[in-house]
């Protein structure tokens, strides 16, 4: 039988600015252990291989608030 997942504490708000590996990004979604972020200035010219996509899903502790 399907049961609803337990609610979790939200640490971020949608649209909040964060830093990930020194690059500015916005939170677009939050999950139990991860957040989806979108880079503010994309593409990042000198880091194309490190950041091939404008959005990434990362662990919550991998980014820092600004």
Residue 51 pLDDT: 86
Tell me what the pLDDT averaged over the chain comes to: 89
Peptide bond preceding 21: is omega within 30 degrees of 0, i.e. cis? no
12-24 confidence digits (pLDDT tens): 999 999 999 999 9
Q: At residue 5, does pLDDT exceed 60? A: no
12-60 confidence digits (pLDDT tens): 999 999 999 999 999 999 999 999 999 999 988 888 888 889 999 999 9
Residue 29 pLDDT: 95
Residue 48 pLDDT: 86
Quickly list DSSP for the chain. Answer: ---PPPP------TT-EEEETTEEEEEEEE-SSEEEEEESS-S-GGGTTT--SSEEEEEGGGSEE-
Q: At residue 6, does pLDDT exceed 80? A: no
């Amino acid at each position: 039988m399907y049961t609803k997942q337990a609610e979790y504490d939200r640490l971020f708000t949608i649209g909040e600015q964060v830093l990930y590996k020194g690059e500015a990004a916005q939170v677009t979604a939050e999950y139990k252990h991860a957040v989806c972020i979108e880079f503010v200035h994309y593409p990042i010219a000198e880091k194309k291989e490190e950041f091939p996509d404008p959005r990434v899903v990362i662990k919550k502790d991998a980014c820092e608030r600004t």
